């Protein structure tokens, strides 16, 4: 009977697997092939040059290396800050209320707060970039943040935050955190809801404070959820090109101070016509993403705790 079901199952899998191979696997394979050539994208002829493109990438201090450094900063800061805020807000919403007759309660209006925090998720990245571009605009262009600082007597950059080299990358990371934290608040809240309240109540009866309860009860039980969130946020950090492209001047400016790897790939491939170099950088980005996922899953393993 089992042997008869295999052809039936395969008949349903054939079309989606074929489309996946055609639309995903084949383009990846072509990118790997192009990265080993000198193809410029404007001709049909090319020669295989081995790993020369990869060597050239890491010698490019004008575009590629700054983009890698900025992406590395985002890769470190974005997951750490977003997960910390998401865990804090989720913990406060779920068990941050009063303890009534030994029972732990969440804060009043927790559902409403979750909706408010989650709202950025319904906006596209382009819309978020346009909104925050106006928030960070100079005072004479109605920049909300600059006007607010001037109102309370604090200085604001005359050209706006996005045109200031010292602030532009911080501004980009802040928007990424703002747009991501709501989703992970809801995600961690759902994970916390699966933890029996008896555990929290027993910890409180034993004299544990809220901070001790979080680090000794909540965080260990949410380890796998935090691990998954770290992987996804790392992918978001590596894929920040759209936000940078729409929000910042010069699509990565000023003077490349907000350039990311995705933007470097786009600039190499289209304005500069260096398709082979762009493919090589794309291959590097692919293996970095794969390595992060493997390392997080392999070295972040922890024995599961049964409730």
Cα separation of 289 and 286, whole Å? 5
Unique residue bearing structure tokens 């008949």: 11
Count other C-beta atoms under 10 Å from residue 133's C-beta: 20
Count other C-beta atoms under 10 Å from residue 88's C-beta: 15
Q: State the burial class of residue 271 (Cβ atoms within 10 Å of its Cβ: 0-12, 13-18, 19+).
A: exposed
- DSSP category for residue 37: B
- DSSP category for residue 215: I
Cα separation of 197 and 105, whole Å? 9
For the entire predicted model, the pTM comes to 0.87
Buried b vs exposed e over 282-301: b needs ≥16 C-beta within 10 Å?
A: bbbbeebbeebeeebeeeee
Cα separation of 79 and 92, whole Å? 20
User: Which pLDDT score, from 0 to 100, does residue 74 have?
Assistant: 95
Q: Convert 236-261 into a string of H (helix), E (strand) and C (coil).
A: HHHCCHHHHHHHCHHHCCCCCCCCCH
Cα separation of 213 and 204, whole Å? 8
User: Which pLDDT score, from 0 to 100, does residue 103 have?
Assistant: 62
Peptide bond into 254 cis (omega under 30): yes
Cα separation of 284 and 78, whole Å? 20
Contact (Cβ atoms closer than 8 angstroms) between residue 102 and residue 204: yes
**Rounded to 5°, angle at Cα 172 from 112 and 134:** 75
In 3D space, the residue among 141, 179, 138 whose CA is nearest the CA of residue 159 turns out to be: 138
User: Which pLDDT score, from 0 to 100, does residue 158 have?
Assistant: 82
Cα separation of 94 and 91, whole Å? 5
Superfamily of domain 66-299: MetI-like (1.10.3720.10)
Give pLDDT tens digits along the chain (307 positions): 455 667 777 778 888 888 999 988 898 898 899 999 888 777 777 788 888 999 888 888 889 999 999 999 999 999 999 999 999 998 888 776 566 555 666 677 778 888 888 888 888 999 999 999 999 998 888 788 888 888 888 888 888 899 989 999 999 999 999 999 999 999 998 888 888 877 777 777 777 777 788 888 888 888 889 989 999 999 999 989 999 999 998 889 899 999 999 999 999 888 888 889 999 999 999 999 888 888 887 776 555 555 4
Domain spans in the chain, listed from the N-terminal domain onward:
66-299
Give how far Cα 84 sits from Cα of 102, 104, 220, Å.
28, 22, 14
User: Which pLDDT score, from 0 to 100, does residue 105 have?
Assistant: 64
User: Which pLDDT score, from 0 to 100, does residue 97 have?
Assistant: 59
Q: How many CA atoms lie within 13 A of 128 on its CB side?
A: 22
Give how far Cα 297 sits from Cα of 155, 208, 228, 284, 300, Å.
45, 31, 9, 20, 5
């Amino acid at each position: 009977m089992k042997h008869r079901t295999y052809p039936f199952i395969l008949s349903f899998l054939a079309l989606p697997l074929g489309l996946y191979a055609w639309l995903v696997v084949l383009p990846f394979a072509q990118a790997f092939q192009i990265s080993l050539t000198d193809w410029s994208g404007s001709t049909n002829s090319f020669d295989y040059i081995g790993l020369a493109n990869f060597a050239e990438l890491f010698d490019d201090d004008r575009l590629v290396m700054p983009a890698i450094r900025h992406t590395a900063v985002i890769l470190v800061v974005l997951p750490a800050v977003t997960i910390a805020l998401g865990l804090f807000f989720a913990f406060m919403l779920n068990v941050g209320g009063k303890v009534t007759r030994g029972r732990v309660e969440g804060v009043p209006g927790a559902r409403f707060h979750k909706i408010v925090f989650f709202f950025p998720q319904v906006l596209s990245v382009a819309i978020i970039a346009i909104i925050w571009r106006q928030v960070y605009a100079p005072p004479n262009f109605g920049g909300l943040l600059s006007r607010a600082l001037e109102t309370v007597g604090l200085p604001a950059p005359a050209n706006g935050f996005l045109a200031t080299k010292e602030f532009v990358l911080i501004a980009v990371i802040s928007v990424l955190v703002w747009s991501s934290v709501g989703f992970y608040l809801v995600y961690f809240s759902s994970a916390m809801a699966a933890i029996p309240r008896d555990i929290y109540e027993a910890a409180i009866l034993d004299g544990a404070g809220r901070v001790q309860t979080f680090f000794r009860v909540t965080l260990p039980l949410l380890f796998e959820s935090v691990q998954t969130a770290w992987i996804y946020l790392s992918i978001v950090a590596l894929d920040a090109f759209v936000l940078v492209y729409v929000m910042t001047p010069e699509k990565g400016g000023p003077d490349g101070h907000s350039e990311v790897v995705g933007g470097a790939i786009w600039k190499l491939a289209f304005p500069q016509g260096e398709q082979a170099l762009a493919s090589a950088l794309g291959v590097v980005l692919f293996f970095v993403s794969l390595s992060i996922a493997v390392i997080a899953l392999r070295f972040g393993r922890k024995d599961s705790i049964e409730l």
